Amino acid sequence: MNAANEQTGIEVNSLSKRYRRGTVANDGISLAIAPGECFGMLGPNGAGKTTLVRQITGELTPSSGQIRVFGIDAVKRPKEARRLLGIVPQEAGLFDYLTVREHLLYFGRLKGLKGESLANRVKRLMRELTLEEHGEKRASELSGGFKRKVLVGIAMLSRPRALILDEPTTGLDPHARREVWELVRRCQQDEVGVLLTTHYMEEAECLSDRIGIISQGQLLAVGTMQELRERITSRFKLTYTPTDSDGLNHERVTVYGRSVDELRARVNALQLEEYDLAKTNLEDIYLELTESPLTLEADHDTMAQ
């Protein structure tokens, strides 16, 4: 095992996946996730997020490229690599006839735990995930949110060195979502690296140390929020509600600018009394990188209308 790779955690180099029918789901993706780092992967549906996850977890064999998990070649030795990972797959299902506690106990045994250490681990996870009250409920009696929490619990059982969370909070209510976030943060404190795919901008922004934006199989950008903001032309945005000559309000309008001064000039020109002036957020960055560029020229048109 290479000491440098061991420190990297998860390392993906020039990873490509081409399906038999010619669809390129991942195209030359490279990224690295350090222990204790949370890497958020954002992208529209069909962008290639889950394909990337499935290759890292050994479910899919890459067409080309390398994946190393704490120094282990995950393409050649997927089983060994998987032992270091806690995985919450997007479409995993629980057994309707097993209780929450039984799920954790059985899967704990499949992950090599036994006896008191298994019992203690299950007890602790149930407390951390606030599943104690539901321990004896069968999966068929649980809401979608609780099922996701059990899946997160199963992934955490063996104290993995890295967590792969493929949309882990989909279907969770805001309360439950924050409990999962708290768990992710605790993992980071324990030096566990996290790869998180999500559709929720707020989640990615809140949890991720770095964010990758993927579209059509290509990693368009990787960086901290600050670094991503620097990659786009529009760093600030002005939001206001235009009023016509009869005093009627129209739909809210958002325009983007390179500087605060530029947008203030617009405020003055339009004689706006109520408006919001803010830094562009992750959603704006995401939209610019994956869909329509938020150029100043386009905004002029909006303004003119």
Partner 1 sequence: MTPWLNDTYVLFAIESKRFTRQAAIFVINSLIAAAAFFLFRLVADPPPEVELRLLAGAIVFGVAMQSINATGQIMVSERFEGQMKLFRTSSISQASYVVAVTIFSAATAAMTSLVVLGLAAAAGVHLSLSPLLIPLIVLTALALPGFAVLIATHAKTAQAGYMLSNAVGIMLVMISPIFYPIDRLPEALQWLARLSPFTHAGQAIHETLSGGTAILVPVCILLAFTVAANAIGIAKMRWREP
In whole angstroms, the minimum distance from the beta carbon of 64 to partner 1 comes to 17
* CB contact at 8 A, 215 and 229: no
Cα(147)–Cα(213) distance, integer angstroms = 28
Tell me the closest approach of the beta carbon of residue 233 to partner 1, in angstroms.
41
Pick out residues in 138-167 that bind partner 1 (CB under 8 A).
138, 151, 154-155
112 belongs to the binding site for partner 1 (CB under 8 A): yes
Chain residues 62-91 in contact with partner 1, contact rule CB under 8 A? 79, 82-83, 85, 87, 89, 91
Beta bridge partners of 80: none
Q: Measured between alpha carbons, how far is 86 from 162 in angstroms, rounded to an integer? A: 6
The torsion defined by the Cα of 100, 102, 107 and 112, in degrees rounded to 10, comes to 130
Q: Would you give the binding string for partner 1 spanning residues 279-298, x where CB under 8 A is met?
A: --------------------
Among 20, 271, 273, 297, interactor with partner 1 by CB under 8 A? 20
The yes or no reply on residue 277 touching partner 1 (CB under 8 A) is no
Q: Of 87 and 238, which has the nearer Cβ to partner 1?
A: 87
Question: Which residues, including other chains, have CB under 8 Å from residue 150's CB and lie 6 or more apart?
Answer: 94, 100, 103, 104, 129, 131, 139, 142
Residues in binding contact with partner 1, number by CB under 8 A: 31
Q: Is 60 in the site for partner 1 (CB under 8 A)?
A: yes
Number of neighbours of residue 174 by Cβ within 10 angstroms: 8
Where would I find the beta strands (DSSP E) of the chain? 10-18, 24-33, 38-42, 64-69, 72-73, 85-88, 162-166, 193-198, 210-215, 218-223, 236-240, 253-257, 275-279
Q: Segment near partner 1 (CB under 8 A), from 4-12, 106-114, 187-195, 292-300? A: 106-114
Q: Among 16, 7, 112, 25, which Cα is nearest to 68's?
A: 7
Helix, coil or strand: residue 201 = helix
- Read off the DSSP letter of residue 62: -
46 touching partner 1, by CB under 8 A:
no
Kindly state the smallest distance separating residue 147's Cβ from partner 1, in Å: 10
Q: Which is nearer to partner 1, 21 or 175 (CB)?
A: 21
Told to check if 21 binds partner 1 by CB under 8 A, we report: no
Q: Is 247 in the site for partner 1 (CB under 8 A)?
A: no
Q: Which of 61, 224, 233, 295 binds partner 1 (CB under 8 A)?
A: 61
Residue 209 binds to partner 1 (criterion: CB under 8 A): no
Closer Cβ to partner 1, 22 or 93, answer by number: 93
Q: How far is the CB of 195 from partner 1 (least distance, A)?
A: 14
Residue found by looking up tokens 């290759």 in the block: 55
15 contributes a contact to partner 1 by CB under 8 A: no
Classified as helix, coil or strand, 145 is helix
Give φ, ψ of 256 to 5 degrees: -115, 150
Binding site for partner 1 (CB under 8 A): 19-20, 57-61, 79, 82-83, 85, 87, 89, 91-95, 97-98, 102, 106-107, 109-112, 138, 151, 154-155
